[in-house]
A = this chain, B = another copy of it.
Amino acid sequence: MTRPNGSAATHAPIDVTAGHEPRIRAANPVTGDLMEPEFRLNSPLEVDQTARLAATAFMIYRRTTPEAKAGFLETIAVNIEAVGEDLVSRAMLETGLSRLRLVGELARTTNQLRLFAAALRAGNVGGIRVDPALPDRTPAPRPDIRMRKIPLGPVAVFGSSNFPFAFSNAGGDTASALAAGCPVIVKSHSAHPGTAELATEAIRKSVRESGLPDGVYGALLGSGKEIGALLVSHPEIKAVGFTGSRSGGLALARIASERPEPIPVFAEMSSVNPVFIFESGLPGTISRDYFDALTLGSGQFCTNPGLLFLPKGELGDNVVRDLARMLQSSTGQTMLTHEISSAYEIASARLGAIGGVETVARGSAGAGANAPPAAVYEVSCDRFANEPALCDEVFGATSLIVRYSEPKEMLDAAVSLDGQLTATVHAAMVDEKFVRELVGILELKAGRIIHNGWPTGVEVGHAMVHGGPFPASSNSRTTSVGTLSVERFQRPVAYQNFPESLLPEELREDNPWGQVRTVNGRIEGA
């Protein structure tokens, strides 16, 4: 998702009256008030200490069994649930998100931890491959070679403002890195320091209850530009997970690539999530469903539908008219921070001011300090084809409708798109030939393609892809949601001609941990 990546200073003035210990307070986005308590910002020295502690813990954590890691993840889920009401209440104050939304996000977060636990128990996380020795092969015998995937080392995770649970301290990056066997250090998001601290306490408690060393999980509070950059630069950090703005993700990727030992950055960044509507795909509920997907959570989703291709003519006009009516009677919902709300208003107005763009409708501002109106604009497909700025993401409840005369125009527009997290097609089978062609283009543009649905829900499962070609992510070859995401934090190691007693357990002939393994290229034990 593209949105301003808040540094602490922009959310709340740093209080330096305490001398060398700058502190922040969270701002309530509804009232604009600063809340109690104060949170101490971490120092550069603490970044170093935390990273070293993680490196020490790695030496123990990396050798734990899949079963032990699974139990640890489940303990985190239980301990998060135990403070669930506290988490939801505090997150409501810090983010302005609704109780309903946050209760759902919390369930998603604990389900996610349990899904990784289940994958570990199913023996699917080790990447085991065995090519047994062939002593009689000619002209030369084949040695015994066995591969497993091992964890990379301590991982830096950057919490995001729009998912205070599912993409923050106990979120997907943390869960997948822990499942891989990597300690995690979260650079907590400064917009929800209290939520971050509650989640951190629950995870720390789980570390202790699981008999693991403290350094398996750490959290730091401070500005991304200082504390975040130091963390990514630290030699003990071996990978980075990030969800946030394009500029933020690219800045971290640059720091990571310029280290003496470059490390991978998995940054989920920017997407407008185009929706392609064929005339045959216009059932009665498109306007309502689109309105709901657009305004859900004030549009603060990476998968928010920012671009809707709609046919010219009466059926399309009906959609626009219905939509305008819903928008006009809508009121804005509170956005996450004052900075995000301001950036939204500027970006939405800028989109509306581009030549050829007309305003379909705009809602009313909501009550409170940071509740700007939803807005939908309209432009012709001809104009769209010649103005790249029309593809820029507006983080929030603003969308652009692109009106086309012929389905063929959608194909051309799709070819011109940048990488996306999602692309969506609404059509009936009468358009199957065209849809097939469109999907063939969208495969090269997006990580996930949705048929006759909406992109906003990101199911946490085995087959989910939340990622996509640049700039949707910095690494299109993986996903930041779902069990495949564990592979981001692993690397393969081969053991050649090892005696049984020296092999890691999961590579031994008797497979004591019951891992799924590929033997001579055939999968066994599934």
Contacts and interface: CB of A to CB of B under 8 A. Distances in A.
Nearest to A474: B262
Contact of A147 (B145, B450, B463): B463
Contacts of A470: 261-262
A487 B147 CA distance: 15
Interface in A401-446: 419, 429, 432, 435-436, 439-440, 443-444, 446
Interface string A488-526: 101111111111011000000000000010101111101
Interface in A126-151: 129-131, 139-140, 142-143, 145-147, 150
B435 A502 contact: yes
A359 interface: no
A487 B518 CA distance: 15
A356 interface: no
A152 B444 CA distance: 8
A391 B523 CA distance: 40
Contacts of A461: 131, 142, 145
A106 interface: no
Contacts of A469: 261, 491
B443 A502 contact: no
A129 B463 contact: yes
A494 B261 contact: no
Interface in A210-239: none
Contact of A432 (B130, B147, B502): B502
Contact of A494 (B463, B488, B490): B463
A493 B482 CA distance: 13
A464 interface: yes
Interface in A35-65: 63
B491 A122 contact: no
Interface stretch (A3-11, A83-91, A278-286, A451-459): A451-459
B447 A492 contact: yes
A463 B130 contact: yes
A484 interface: yes
B521 A462 contact: yes
Contact of A526 (B436, B439, B465, B524): B524
Contacts of A142: 459, 461
Interface string A465-489: 1010110001111110001100110
B498 A464 contact: no
Nearest to A239: B477
Contact of A523 (B104, B118, B465, B523): B523
A496 B454 CA distance: 10
A62 B302 CA distance: 29
A239 B484 CA distance: 21
Given A150-B443, A501-B429, A521-B118, A449 B496 contact: yes
Nearest to A263: B470
A119 interface: yes
A183 interface: no
B122 A493 contact: no
A264 to B, nearest CB: 7
B497 A450 contact: yes
Contacts of A246: none
A398 to B, nearest CB: 24
A453 B526 contact: no
Contacts of A490: 477
A153 interface: yes
Interface string A246-268: 00000001000100011010000
5 contacts: A152-B476, A450-B497, A451-B498, A462-B521, A467-B492
Given A122-B521, A131-B463, A524-B526, 16 more contacts: A124-B523, A130-B463, A145-B459, A147-B462, A152-B477, A262-B474, A429-B501, A436-B502, A443-B493, A449-B495, A463-B518, A465-B494, A476-B491, A477-B491, A478-B492, A526-B526
6 closest cross-chain pairs (CB), A and B: A523-B526, A465-B494, A129-B463, A147-B463, A448-B494, A131-B461
